[in-house]
A and B are shown apart, each in its own frame.
Chain A
Amino acid sequence: MIYAYSPLRRFGLYIGALLALIWSGGPFLWQLSSSFQLDRELTTGSPKFWPSPFTIEHYINLVVEKSFQEYIYNSIIVASLTTLFGLFVGSLAAFSLSRLDIRGKFGVLGIILSISMFPQIAIVGPLYLLASDLGLLDTYASLVITYLALGLPLVTWVLFGYFETLPREIDEAARMDGCSTLGLLFRIILPISLPSLVTTGLLAFIAAWNEFMFALAFTSSIEHQTVPVGIANFTNLYYVPWGDIAAASVVVTVPLIVLVLVFQKHIIEGLTQGGVKE
């Protein structure tokens, strides 16, 4: 194909691209700008796009007044453990479904996927009662166990998709060399699946990092509450601290954005793999 557009069409394309860029990036840039402005500047009635005077007051508030670092610590623990367990359990399942003789594997895969279709609000009540009976309320464990199960269908599905693309000759060669089944998984398949493991892990991590409802229901103290719960509860007595909220948004979103931009190609592939039939 030749990409020779008429000038009018080219103009339209760039206008469209600009609009798409403003639409996706604009709101966050405003949040970024707000986080460096004084409260009185934010409420003057004529907002400034470029912060002046520039202040890091809100970022200091986050640490000093709100102990925001504790929420971040909790989120890092919960999301990392979820990711590690998720990748481990998910790769065992995906390996079994993709590489071993298993009867009705697409049925099993279908069941795993369809479980994820249930509305999450339907399980939060019973799980709360269960966690309460087991004394797991307000613990990391309650969140990690829940997020593990919520993330597993996606993790299994994406890893299964990747394993299916690996040539079977590898398995045969490994078996010939006397590799056991688990050896095949841990010494051969997993090392060459590293790109997919990274992407899948990132997806699981982001999902756990962003989850709100279960964290809200299961945790009640700053010792175990995660970032979304912390931000949702950000209110001062007499006014909404928009500057502090903006700073918190920047702190929890920028690392995600950096990760996503670094791995964007893999993420788009991983995400769209399930939705599109070739």
Chain B
Amino acid sequence: MSLQQTATAIAGPRKGAGNSFRWQFLTPWLLLLPAFLSLASVSVYPILNGLWLSFTNTSLITQEHDFVGFANYRLLWVDDLFWNAWWHTITFTAVSTLAETLLGLAIALLLFEHFAFRGVVRAAMLVPWAMPTVVTSKMFGWLFDGQHGLINYLLKSAGIISENVNWLGSVDNALWTIIFADVWKTTPFMALLLLAGLHTIPKSLIEAARMDGARSLATFWYVRLPMLLPTLLIAGLFRALDAFRVFDLVYVLTGGGPADSTETLSTLNYKTLFSTLQFGYGSAISTAMFITEAMIALGFCIFLYERLRRQK
């Protein structure tokens, strides 16, 4: 409470104070109004509208717009393309999140140490993060090009492979190549997040462990890791939710091919909306995605809660 407000409260309302009181009550909400309007029209309304659309057969081709109940969801349940994309998305999410967390942790531990040029390494880590994902995609498309790509050349020079590998054009490799590109793009951010987490661990704890004769590995395992675990899990959750929505990389690198082997939920959803113009069915896919995402988040939260409870 400001002094003026306190004074008003003690002295009682002045003349016309009723009006100013109403303004005092209204101002905070008036200032929030633009943000609310923006979020309501661009986030809340479309989400609810999408939910409604998922119960209709809306299509921009047939111009139909009728309520069809759960028909879209029944179709979805037996749609092989959907489950194909679902599994790819789950695989992508699990593998890339795990790889990014482990690699990010390794880099964070490295950057926590003191060495010359540490600032340079930390700055270089921001390059993948700042780069547009479309550019990252094209860059990996070139690096992993089946004929003239640098990766094939380097691996051949090192004697690891004897002939060119078709990284993005073969059913067996394409998804893994995309995962690799995603790990490259997002690991640095993970590392910086975990580095910030490491800095919040009191130095005295680690010194105490050292005094007690704990070696580096032991300090890591018994002091740093447990202290870092909440950060690790929260960062992992955010990363997983983000990875689950992967769109740009897949759309630009393979467009979901070859033979649907890299189709993910977002790309399938986008194509259903904007190639076949089935807005009803597409919205049902969105809803299914959202349900899956909510389950992932719930799983993480339960795990985090159990973990924290056990620690106490």
Q: Name the distance in Å between B228's Cβ and chain A's nearest Cβ.
A: 10
Q: Contacts of B35 on A, CB cut-off 8 Å? A: 89-90, 92-93, 112, 152, 156
Is residue A162 within 8 Å, beta carbon to beta carbon, of the partner chain? no
Asked whether, in the complex, the Cβ of A213 is within 8 Å of the Cβ of B200, the reply is no
Q: Are B42 and A228 in contact (CB under 8 A)?
A: no
Give the chain A neighbours of B193 by CB distance below 8 A.
271-272, 275-276
Q: Is the CB of B127 within 8 A of A25?
A: yes
Contact bitstring B129-148, A, C-beta under 8 A = 1, else 0: 11111110111111101011
The answer on a CB contact under 8 Å between A148 and B42 is yes
Known contacts A96-B32, A234-B138; A127 and B38 CB within 8 A of each other: no
Q: How far is the CB of B185 from chain A (nearest CB, A)?
A: 10
Across-interface contacts of A20 in B (CB, < 8 A): 107, 110-111, 121, 124-125
In the complex, the answer to whether B31 meets A249 with C-beta atoms within 8 Å is no
- A61 contacts the other chain (Cβ, under 8 Å)? no
Q: Which B24-62 residues have a C-beta within 8 angstroms of A?
A: 24, 27-29, 31-32, 34-35, 38-39, 41-47, 49-50, 53
Residue on B nearest A130 in the bound complex, by CB: B46
| Closest A residue by C-beta to B210 | A1
Instruction: Tell me how far the C-beta of B158 lies from the nearest C-beta in chain A, rounded to whole angstroms.
Output: 14
Flag if B115 contacts A17 (CB, 8 Å): yes
CB distance from A76 to the nearest CB of B (A): 14
- Whether B304 is near chain A, meaning CB under 8 Å from some CB there, is no
Instruction: Encode contact with B along A245-262: 1 for CB under 8 Å, 0 otherwise.
Output: 110110011001101110
Is A115 a contact partner of B44 (Cβ separation < 8 A)? Answer: yes
Q: What is the CA–CA distance of A234 and B132 in the complex, to the nearest angstrom?
A: 15
User: How many A-B contacts at CB < 8 Å in the complex?
Assistant: 286
Cα-based distance from A16 to B106 in the complex (angstroms):
9
* Chain A residues with CB below 8 A from B41, complex form: 145, 149
Interface residues on A, range: 35 or more
A93-B32, A112-B35, A123-B46 known; A45-B289 Cβ under 8 A: no
Mask: chain B, 251-284; 1 = CB below 8 Å from A; 0 = not: 1100000000000011001100110000100110
B135's nearest neighbour on chain A, judged by CB, is: A249
| A119 in complex: contacting residue of B27, B195, B245, CB < 8 Å | B245
If over half of B's interface residues share one DSSP class (helix, strand or loop), that class is named, otherwise mixed; here it is helix
Whether the Cβ atoms of A149 and B39 lie closer than 8 Å is yes
Task: Note all chain B residues with C-beta closer than 8 A to A232.
Answer: 134, 137-138, 251-252
Is the CB of B176 closer than 8 A to any CB of chain A?
no
Q: How far is the CB of B184 from chain A (nearest CB, A)?
A: 7
**Contacts A102-B28, A119-B289, A176-B4 hold; do A245 and B124 have CB atoms under 8 A apart?**
no
- Say if the beta carbon of B307 comes within 8 Å of chain A: no
Q: Is A23 an interface residue (CB 8 A)?
A: yes
Q: How far is the CA of A227 from the CA of B132 in the complex (A)?
A: 9
- Asked whether A31 is an interface residue with its Cβ less than 8 Å from the other chain, the reply is yes
- Which of A212, A259, A260 makes the CB contact (< 8 A) with B134? A212
Give Cα A258–Cα B75 distance, bound, in whole angstroms: 50
Closest to A132 in B: B60
> CB-CB < 8 A to B29: which residues of A?
96, 102
Q: Are A256 and B42 in contact (CB under 8 A)?
A: no
Among B9-17, B93-101, B217-225, B231-239, the stretch that binds chain A is: B231-239
For the complex formed, measure the closest distance between the CB of B232 and the CB atoms of chain A, giving whole angstroms.
Answer: 10
Known: A13-B115, A152-B35. A121 touches B247 (CB 8 A): yes
The answer to whether B138 and A231 touch across the interface, beta carbons within 8 angstroms, is yes
A54 to nearest B CB, angstroms? 19
- Knowing A20-B125, A252-B135, A268-B196, the reply to whether A31 touches B189 (Cβ < 8 A) is no
- Asked if B114 is an interface residue, CB under 8 A from chain A, the answer is yes
Closest Cβ neighbor of A210 among chain B residues: B132
Say yes or no: is A278 at the interface (Cβ < 8 Å to chain B): yes
Look across to chain A and name the residue whose beta carbon is closest to the beta carbon of B283. A125
With A24-B124, A181-B27 given, is the CB distance from A31 to B139 under 8 Å? yes
Query: Which of A108, A156, A175, A260 contacts B126 (CB under 8 A)?
Result: A260
Q: Does A118 contact B (CB under 8 A)?
A: yes
| Pairwise interchain contact B150-A30, C-beta atoms closer than 8 A | yes
Q: Which residue of B lies closest to A49 (CB)?
A: B150
| B122-A30 in contact (CB<8A) | no
Interface residue? A69 (CB, 8 A)? no
As a 0/1 sequence over residues 9 to 30 of chain A, the CB contacts with chain B under 8 angstroms (1 = contact) are: 0100110110011011101101
A61 to B188 alpha-carbon distance, docked (Å)? 33
**What would be 14 A-B contacts, judged by CB atoms less than 8 Å apart?**
A1-B203, A17-B110, A21-B120, A95-B31, A117-B297, A119-B290, A122-B46, A148-B38, A152-B38, A210-B134, A231-B134, A232-B138, A240-B141, A253-B130
Given contacts A17-B121, A31-B142, 8 further A-B contacts (CB under 8 A): A20-B110, A24-B125, A93-B31, A118-B43, A119-B245, A120-B245, A150-B42, A231-B132
List residues of A whose CB falls within 8 A of some B CB: 1, 3, 5, 10, 13-14, 16-17, 20-21, 23-25, 27-28, 30-31, 34, 42-43, 45-47, 88-90, 92-93, 95-97, 100-102, 108, 112, 115-130, 145-146, 148-150, 152-153, 156, 171-172, 175-176, 181, 206, 209-210, 212-213, 216-217, 227-229, 231-232, 234, 240, 242, 245-246, 248-249, 252-253, 256-257, 259-261, 264, 267-268, 271-272, 275-278
